[in-house]
Amino acid sequence: MLVSLAALTGCVGVADVQQTVEFMEHYRAGEFAAASNLIGGPTGLDYQADNLLTSLHVGMALRNEQRHDAAQVAFDRAEGQLLWKSDEVASVEDVLGVGLSLIASDLALSYHGNIYEGVLVNTYKALGALAAGDPDRARVELNRAAQRQDNAVDQLAVKVSALTANEDEDAQQQHQEEIDEAVAEVMDPDGPVARRLDAVDSLGQYQGLRNPFTDWLHGVFRLATGEANRASNLLRDAVVVDGRRNRHLLADFAAAERIAQGGKAESDRVWVIHEDGLGPRLDEFRFDIFVPTEHGLIAVGTALPTLYGGTPAYGSLTVRADGRSTETEPILHLDRYVATEFRAGYDGVVFKAVAAAVIRVLVQAELQKGSDSSGFFGALAKVVVPAAATIVTQADTRMWRALPHTIGIASLPRPADDILRIGAAGAPGIGEVSLPPGRFVIVTVTTTRPGAPPALNTYSLPGG
Amino acid sequence: MKIRLPALAVAAAVLAGCATTGPQYLTGPGTDRPDPRGETVLGLDYRDFEYAAEQAVDSFLSSPLSRKPGSTAPWVMAISRMVNDTALNIDTDQLIKKIRVDLLDSGRVIVTTAVGLEGPEDPLAAKTRELQESELFNQETVAQDGTMVAPELSLSGKIIGRTNRVGDKQQVDYYFQLTATNIETGLAYWEFEEVIAKIGDNERFSWE
C-alpha cells in the first residue's frame, strides 16, 4: 500500500523533471563539469544508479568533460534500465503503477526511456570505447545499436500497443461512452491538440525509426577496419534514410563501394562529428474537457505533453586543414528522430489522459452520490482523488534533454600537419585540434549554444 | 527484477502448470549432442565455446596439413587476432584456450607465448634474457639468445553474431570462423567454420 501511495503521488517523475531543469541550466551553458557534479557529485556517478534519466543526462555531461570512463559507467547503467525490446516493466512498483495508470499519472512511474534513446546510448558507448582505446568494445556497441535499429519497427509496434493497452478495463467499460465522446472532442481537427500534432508532423519522420548517423558511424568504423562490404551496406542504409542530402556521407559511401569492388584502400582520413545545439523538448499543454454527468457538464482540467523542436547553436562548422576548408553537413535531425517515435505513440497518450480525466470526474460524482463507495473502485477513488488530484493532471514531460539539435559530419583527408582548425559563423576560433596518431581519426565537437564553451574530443579508429 | 507486463496472464499460466520454454538450439551443442539442461541462452555460454572448440580441433586434426610435411615435430603456432563481431561482451580466450589445450594434447601443435599481435602473451621469456648480464645467476641456467623458436603457423579468427526475426521469435546465428596461416608462405593451411544457431522469443536482446 505504501508503494501504491508513493506511486500515486508521482514523486519519481516530479523529481526527475526538477532535476532535469537544474541540470540543463548548466548543460546548455557548456558548464559540463557543473552539470555532472550537480547530479553525481565529484565522481559524477554518486546518484541512484537505477534512475535511467539521470544516467542519460550525467553520461552526456561526463563525455563532454572527457571523463570517458565515468561516462561509460553512466551509459552502462542507462542501458541496464532501458526497456522496449519487449512488453516488460522494471519492477513490482512499476506493475502497480501500470495497474493504476489510467487514474494515476505516468509521472508516478520510473522513466522507461524511448527506442531512439537505446540506439543513441549504444552509439555514444561506441564512441566512448574508442576514446578509451578499446575498438573491440566499440564494435560490440555498434552491433548492439545496429540490432536496436533493425528491431525498431517491431519495438515501436509493441510500445504503441502498450500505450493503448486497457489496464483499467472495468472502469473504462463502465464509462466508455463518455470517454469516446471526450476523445472525439479533444481530437477535433480544428482543436488545439490537432494544431499541436500538425506542428509535430511538420518536424518530419525517419522511416522505420532509423537513425542515419548511427549507421554512418558504424560504416566508417568498418571502413577503417578494412571491412568494405559491411561498410558499404551500412553507409547505403544511411544514404537511403538521409535522402542523399549529405555530401560527406555520399563520399564515404562511394569510397566503401569502390574498395568493396576491389579498388584502392582508403587513404588516411579524418571524420568530424558536430553535435550542435539542444534537441527537442516536451512541455505541458493544459486544457479542459467537458464530461456529461447527472449534474450537467463538468469541466475538468487535463494535461498532455507537447513536443517542441530544439534550438541550433551554429548549425554547421567550418573545418580547415591543409589550406582547404569544408563545412559539416547535418546527417541526423533530432527533432525529426524524436518526433517519429513521439507521434507514433501520441494517440495512446491522448486516450489515456482523457480517459483518466473522465473516469476521475465520474467517480467523484458517484462518490458524492454515496453509491458504490464500499466497493474496490470507490475505495480506490477515495484514495486517488484527494491525494493525487494535482499529479494526475500533470503531463509526463521527461525526456533525454542533453541531446543535440542536429548531428553533422565532415569527411576529409588527414592533413599533413595533423592540425584541424575549426570555426563557425560568428565564432571563427571554436578550436584547434591536434590529431592523435592513427590512419583514421574521429573528432567530435559539441556546441550547445552560441558563446558557450565547446567540448572537443578525438578518437582513433582501429586500422592504423 | 524484471516482470512481464501481463503479470496476471503469466501468473495464470504458472498456476495452470503451463511450462514455458526458453531459447533452444537449432544447430550446435543442443542438437547433435543433446544437453541435459535442454534450454540455452540467446547469448553464448560455456557449452557453446566448448562445442565450437571441440569441432575446431576435430577439424584441424583431420586435416592432412595438421602434420608438418616431412617432419614428426609439432607445428609452432602463434595466436593472432580474434575478432568478436557480436553484440556480446565476450572474451575470445574462452574459445582459444580450449583449442590450445586440445591441440597441445594432440602432440601436433605447440603454441608460442613469446610472440603475439600486441606483444608476447608471456613477456618473461624475453625478460629473462636480461639475466645474461647478472652475476647472481649461474649462466649455464640462463636462457641464451637465439634459442627461441619462431612460429610457423598463425591462428586467427572471428565470431560473428547475426539476429533475424522469425515470426514472433528471433533467431541468433553465431559463426565461429578460424584460419591457420602458414607464416612462411602466407597460405591458409586450414579453414574452419561452425554455426551455432539459437531461437527464442523476441522479448530481450541477446545481450540482456
Inter-chain CB proximity A89 and B163 less than 8 Å? no
Are the Cβ atoms of B7 and A150 closer than 8 angstroms? no
> Interface pTM (ipTM) of the complex?
0.84
CATH number assigned to the domain comprising residue B41: 3.40.50
The pLDDT, as a whole number, for residue B18 is 43
Burial class for B34, CB neighbours closer than 10 Å (0-12, 13-18, 19+): exposed
Would you tell me how many other CB atoms lie within 10 Å of the CB of residue B89?
13
- Considering the domain boundaries, does residue B6 fall inside one? no
Q: How many domains are contained in chain A?
A: 1
Please indicate whether, in this complex, the C-beta atoms of A140 and B89 are within 8 angstroms of each other.
yes
Q: Which residues of A touch B7 (CB under 8 A)?
A: 95
Angle between helical axes of A115-131 and A135-163 (0-180°, round to 10): 170
For the ranges A99-108, B127-136, B151-160, B198-207, the lowest mean pLDDT is seen at A99-108
In a domain, B170, yes or no: yes
Residue A401's closest CA among A17, A43, A11, A14?
A: A17
Alpha helices in chain B (DSSP H): 7-15, 46-62, 93-106, 124-127
Of the partner residues B5, B85, B89, the one whose CB lies closest to the CB of residue A88 = B5
Report the residue from A87, A92, A140 with minimal CB separation from B84.
A140
Domain that holds residue B172: 22-130+141-201
Q: What is the pLDDT of residues A344-385, one digit of tens each?
A: 988 888 888 888 888 878 877 776 665 444 555 555 555 555
Q: Is residue B145 part of a domain?
A: yes
Contacts of A86 in chain B (CB under 8 A): 4, 201-204
* Nearest beta carbon to residue A88 from set B2, B84, B163: B2
Task: Extract long-range pairs of B106-109: CB within 8 Å, 24+ residues apart.
Answer: B106/B57, B106/B61, B106/B66, B107/B74, B108/B61, B108/B66, B108/B67, B108/B68, B108/B74, B108/B75, B109/B60, B109/B66, B109/B74, B109/B75, B109/B76, B109/B77, B109/B153
Residues of the domain holding A62: 2-460
Instruction: Check pLDDT > 70 for residue B46.
Output: yes
Q: Does B6 touch chain A (CB under 8 A)?
A: yes
A130 Cβ neighbours under 8 A, 6+ residues apart? A138, A442, A459, A460, A461
* Count of the separate structural domains present in chain B: 1
The residues of A whose Cβ lies within 8 A of any Cβ of B are 85-92, 94-95, 98, 136-137, 139-140, 143-144, 147-148, 150-151, 154, 162, 165
- φ/ψ of A308, rounded to 5, equals -120, 140
Does residue B63 sit at the A interface (CB-CB below 8 Å)?
Answer: no
B5 interfacial to chain A (CB closer than 8 Å): yes
- Burial code (b: 16+ CB inside 10 Å, e: under 16) for A9-30 equals bbebbbebbebbeebbebbbeb
Q: Compute the half-sphere exposure of residue A458: CA atoms within 13 Å on the CB side of its CA.
A: 16
Q: Which of A210-214, B13-17, B125-129 has the lowest mean pLDDT?
A: B13-17
- Among B5, B84, B203, the residue with its CB nearest the CB of A85 is B203
Instruction: Write down the mean pLDDT value for chain A.
Output: 86
Within a domain: B91? yes
- Which position has the higher pLDDT, A223 or A167? A223
* A136, closest residue in chain B (CA to CA): B84
Per-residue pLDDT for B176 more than 50? yes
pLDDT at A377: 52
Relative to beta strand A324-327, strand A318-321 is antiparallel
pLDDT digits (tens, 9 = 90+) for A380-402: 555 555 444 555 578 889 999 99
The answer to whether A275 and A444 have CB atoms below 8 angstroms apart is yes
pTM comes to 0.87
Comparing alpha-carbon positions, the chain A residue that sits nearest to B205 is A85
